[in-house]
């Protein structure tokens, strides 16, 4: 809290007499859920009736992009409204060699303390705030949610594969500490039985809702599933024709149903904005324990649409159109200014916020999204339906040529231009026939590169294991 004192304008609340009271906000984020992993978006061999109900009673965004195709950068961007390259967090964070959340000399790996999260913005506007689930933005005390605007935290501080886990294969990740389960900054359990994480997170969420009926709240519920290793509870094991992956998605769906029913029981349904999405696309290298991104190409850790285009459902009765399919472009970085606007909270004036306030579009007052462009990295940009890749090395899980190196990196010596409106699979390069568009979009990328501080590296090292830093 002390680090926000210099942001004098942050706590301004200026609701007009005619404005609706600020809504409660629930942001539910699955881990590695694919675009096609909802029934309303074509899921096969497993069912998501509660998520489908959420879509039917609210709005489904079909052109929504995460700001990164891997965990830590995507979560940092979601919470700050800033591109990962601007934050300087473009790699997944690993656990500290020894997890000691109470130590006074924290490590250096985490969301920088100078960054301002949406939880801090909302907290200053009078919201009670809670983070439940996967954090993955630093596991030392100074990086945990309670130092980033959240009143309370319960969960594991990184992805559920980064350490020993209940029932793990012998020797796997034995060089890492046991996975800790935290309450605030205190380790309350090690190597928790992951079969029950979804249930435990849901129960904690419902308890938080029940205890905060009298003031606005922001709940960030970040599930561990369906990130590998995947664990359904005994109740859901064997429930889906798709196998284990389908089991855990159906359990996640049931969790969403419990949250929606809990809101109704508590009389909070009409004044709560519910958002459901995923941190990035599916980890296709983990198939069959992975989802699908159909009709998009590739998945997590790539710059193709399958890694970025993720499910997004929103509902706020009477404020968000019901049964609507919104096709305008929107990105996860847009939630920070959008939610701040709903709370009439001022954004920090000394941080560049890349997100845009999309409420007029989401509420149906505007027919078009304010976002017309999106940067996948300093070397990949989308303007309208056109997406340009500058020449360079790019990771491909399923290369369409034999040019991939041992790390899955493919070198492309020329620019590639795709029209996503007719080519969602990004297979037909238009660059040779539309050189003027290549020039236009290249100029956007060069300007973005110049704007970033510190500037991006000249090129990724193809000799290193592929990560989110690939072009």
pLDDT at 102 over 70: no
Q: Which of 98-107, 110-119, 264-273 has the lowest mean pLDDT?
A: 98-107
Instruction: Tell me the two tokens of residue 196.
Output: 């029950």
Residue range 305-331: mean pLDDT, rounded: 98
pLDDT at 463 over 70: no
pLDDT for position 402: 66
Contact 312, 334 (CB under 8 A): no
Contact 114, 203 (CB under 8 A): no
Rounded Cα distance, 228 and 235, in Å: 19
Residue range 76-100: mean pLDDT, rounded: 88
pLDDT for position 169: 54
What DSSP state is assigned to residue 365? S
Shortest CA distance to 185 belongs to which of 110, 250, 115, 247? 110
Q: Assign a CATH topology to domain 373-451.
A: Arylsulfatase, C-terminal domain (3.30.1120)
Q: Categorize the per-residue pLDDT at 163 as very low, low, confident or very high, splitting at 50, 70 and 90.
A: confident
pLDDT at 447 over 50: yes
DSSP notation for 260-304: HHHHHHTT-GGGEEEEEEESS---GGGTTSS---TTSS--TTSSS
At 137-158, the pLDDT tens digits run 999 999 999 999 999 999 999 9
pLDDT for position 442: 98
Q: Categorize the per-residue pLDDT at 406 as very low, low, confident or very high, splitting at 50, 70 and 90.
A: confident
Q: Assign a CATH topology to domain 2-15+22-362.
A: Alkaline Phosphatase, subunit A (3.40.720)
Contact 227, 32 (CB under 8 A): yes
Backbone φ/ψ region at 32: left (φ over 0), alpha (ψ -120 to 50), beta = left
Instruction: Tell me the two tokens of residue 231.
Output: 């664990």
Domain chopping of the chain, boundaries: 2-15+22-362, 373-451
pLDDT at 28 over 50: yes
pLDDT for position 471: 80
Residue range 354-378: mean pLDDT, rounded: 98
For residue 107, the number of C-alpha atoms closer than 13 Å in the C-beta half-sphere is 17
At 164-214, the pLDDT tens digits run 766 665 556 667 788 999 999 999 999 999 999 999 999 999 999 999 999
Instruction: Tell me the two tokens of residue 158.
Output: 């990184």
**Cα→Cα distances 66→31, 41, 83, Å:** 12, 17, 10
Q: What is the mean pLDDT of the chain?
A: 89
Which positions are catalytic?
Answer: 71, 136
Q: Categorize the per-residue pLDDT at 13 as very low, low, confident or very high, splitting at 50, 70 and 90.
A: very low
pLDDT at 224 over 70: yes
Residue range 98-125: mean pLDDT, rounded: 75
Residue range 249-268: mean pLDDT, rounded: 98
What proportion of the chain, given as a percentage, has pLDDT over 70? 86
């Amino acid at each position: 809290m002390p680090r926000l004192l210099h942001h004098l304008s942050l706590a301004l609340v200026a609701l007009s007499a005619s404005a609706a009271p600020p809504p409660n906000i629930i942001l539910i984020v699955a881990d590695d859920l694919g675009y096609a992993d909802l029934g309303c978006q074509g899921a096969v061999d497993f069912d998501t009736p509660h998520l489908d109900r959420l879509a039917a009673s609210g709005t489904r965004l079909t052109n929504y992009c995460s700001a990164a195709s891997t965990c830590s950068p995507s979560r940092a961007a979601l919470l700050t409204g800033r591109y990962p390259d601007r934050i300087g967090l473009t790699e997944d964070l690993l656990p500290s060699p020894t997890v000691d959340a109470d130590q006074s000399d924290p490590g250096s790996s985490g969301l920088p303390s100078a960054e301002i999260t949406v939880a801090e913005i909302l907290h200053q506007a009078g919201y009670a705030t809670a983070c439940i689930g996967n954090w993955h933005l630093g596991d030392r005390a100074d990086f945990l949610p309670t130092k980033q605007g959240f009143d309370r935290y319960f969960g594991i501080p990184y992805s559920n594969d980064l350490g020993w886990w209940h029932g793990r294969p012998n020797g796997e990740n034995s060089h890492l500490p046991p996975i800790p389960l935290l309450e605030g900054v205190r380790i309350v359990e090690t190597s928790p039985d992951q079969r029950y994480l979804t249930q435990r997170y849901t129960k904690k969420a419902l308890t938080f809702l029940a205890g905060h009926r009298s003031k606005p709240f922001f709940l960030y519920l970040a599930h561990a599933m369906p990130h590998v290793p995947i664990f359904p509870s005994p109740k859901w094991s064997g429930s889906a024709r798709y196998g284990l992956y389908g089991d855990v998605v159906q359990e996640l769906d049931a969790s969403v149903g419990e949250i929606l029913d809990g809101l109704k029981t508590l009389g909070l349904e009409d004044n709560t904005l519910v958002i459901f999405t995923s941190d990035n696309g599916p980890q296709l290298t983990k198939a069959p324990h992975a989802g699908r991104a159909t009709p998009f190409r590739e998945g997590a850790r790539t710059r193709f649409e399958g890694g970025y285009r993720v499910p997004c459902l929103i509902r706020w009765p009477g404020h968000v159109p019901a049964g609507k399919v919104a096709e305008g472009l929107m990105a996860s970085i847009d939630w920070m200014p959008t939610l701040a606007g709903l709370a009439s909270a001022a954004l920090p004036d000394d941080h560049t916020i890349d997100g845009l306030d999309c409420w007029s579009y989401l509420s149906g007052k505007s027919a078009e999204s304010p976002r017309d462009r999106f940067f996948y990295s300093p070397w990949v940009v989308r303007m309208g339906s056109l997406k340009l890749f500058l020449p360079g090395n790019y990771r491909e899980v399923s290369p369409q040529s034999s040019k991939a190196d041992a790390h899955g990196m493919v070198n492309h010596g020329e620019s590639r231009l795709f029209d996503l409106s007719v080519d969602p699979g990004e297979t037909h390069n238009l660059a040779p026939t539309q050189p003027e568009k290549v020039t236009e979009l290249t100029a956007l990328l060069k300007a973005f590169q110049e704007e970033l501080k510190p500037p991006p590296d000249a090129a990724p090292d193809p000799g290193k294991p592929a990560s989110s830093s690939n072009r």
